[in-house]
Amino acid sequence: MQSRRTNAIHFALFVVFPLLVLAFAASGRERVRFMPRFSPGEVLRYRIESRTTTTGTTTTPIANPEGGSRSSQAIHIVVRLDVLDVSSAGEVRLRATYEKSSSESESDALDLQASSNADRYNRLEGRSFEFSIEPGGAFAAMPDPAATPSGQPGDEPVLSWLEGLSAGSGLPQKGVVIGQKWNTERPLAGALLSGLLSRTESTYLRNEPCRPSALPKVSGTQSTTPPGDCAVILTRFQILRRGPTHSDATPEDYRRNGLRTTGTWTGSGESLDSISLATGLLVGSTQNSVQNMDYEISSASTGSSIHHVGKVQSQSEIALVPDQP
């Protein structure tokens, strides 16, 4: 159940945080290039709110009369990013601090794992780590594993935005103009079925005034520069499987452990993102997604199996918030 929740939130945020490091060189009808731009001493603070609702049934060899059919998880996070240094070669060093972090879960059955997961998010508050981004967008250093609830870097939605910081290769390198569309396609890592991928289509809709609060704080002083215009990007995305419908869907790591997987896993959703043309910072984003799954995991040696049919709905909101004195 927890794996499905995490995958759902990753999917909802998949197309958002790559926009965090966009910097635009032009506005209006001129071609806009995507380039990372950070200033030493800059302070960025983001509020992340997400809710995931899971419904479905699981059939196992041993019947569980107390098994639940509906659960939900809400996550509330405020992340502060301090730009520590920008080298002459373009490498950026940052520190991320979880100023606020909490989570609560609801279920129609006893779920000890959900309660434990909420406690881990609560303990995350106050933790920080440093990381670097190379000029090409790749990580030069990964965060301390202790900075995530599960102990695995990038394995939780609280660090999903870090993956986006190195995702510039999936964006148009020559720039875009208002009205232009572009597509990206990536494998869905860690999926129960092989060949699953996430496909997105993004459209640069228009420019509109940014919120006045969407300004970073540099060297201890809040900027008084007008916020200017923001680019509005609409992204629609879907999960689908590459290959013949009835082909073997077992991932290699499952096969090595004597398991076989079959079934279907689909999903769709969209996000609406507002990005500052002056700074390239994500100012605000709302996302909605839904996933439908019907899969079976069976043992090649014993023939026993687990069959799950379910639906996962996710809503997320990310906002650049004013820095506090």
Amino acid letter, residue 187: P
Mean pLDDT for the stretch of residues 109-127: 71
The whole-number pLDDT of residue 318 equals 87
Q: Write out the residue range of the structural domain in which residue 207 sits.
A: 2-320
Least confident of 27-36, 100-109, 266-275, 291-300: 27-36
Give the pLDDT band (50/70/90) at residue 111: low
CB-CB contact of 207 with 28 (8 Å):
yes
Mean pLDDT for the stretch of residues 74-80: 91
The whole-number pLDDT of residue 197 equals 92
> Structure tokens of 323?
């820095």
Residue 114 covered by a domain: yes
DSSP code of residue 3: H
The whole-number pLDDT of residue 28 equals 46
The whole-number pLDDT of residue 160 equals 56
Total domain count, the chain: 1
Given a cut of 90, is residue 214 above it in pLDDT? no
DSSP code of residue 177: -
Nearest to 163 by CA among 145, 139, 134: 139
Residues 233-255 have pLDDT tens digits of 999 999 998 877 677 889 998 99
Residue 63 covered by a domain: yes
Residue 325 covered by a domain: no
CB-CB contact of 275 with 24 (8 Å):
yes
The larger pLDDT score, comparing residue 227 to residue 270, is at 270
The larger pLDDT score, comparing residue 219 to residue 53, is at 53
Residue 199 covered by a domain: yes
Residue 111 covered by a domain: yes
* Whole-angstrom distance, CA of residue 191 vs CA of residue 168: 23
* Whole-angstrom distance, CA of residue 93 vs CA of residue 128: 14
Residue 19 covered by a domain: yes
**Reported pTM:** 0.76
Residue 81, domain CATH: 2.30.230
Residue 62 covered by a domain: yes
* Whole-angstrom distance, CA of residue 241 vs CA of residue 250: 12
Q: Are strands 128-133 and 92-107 parallel, antiparallel or unpaired?
A: antiparallel
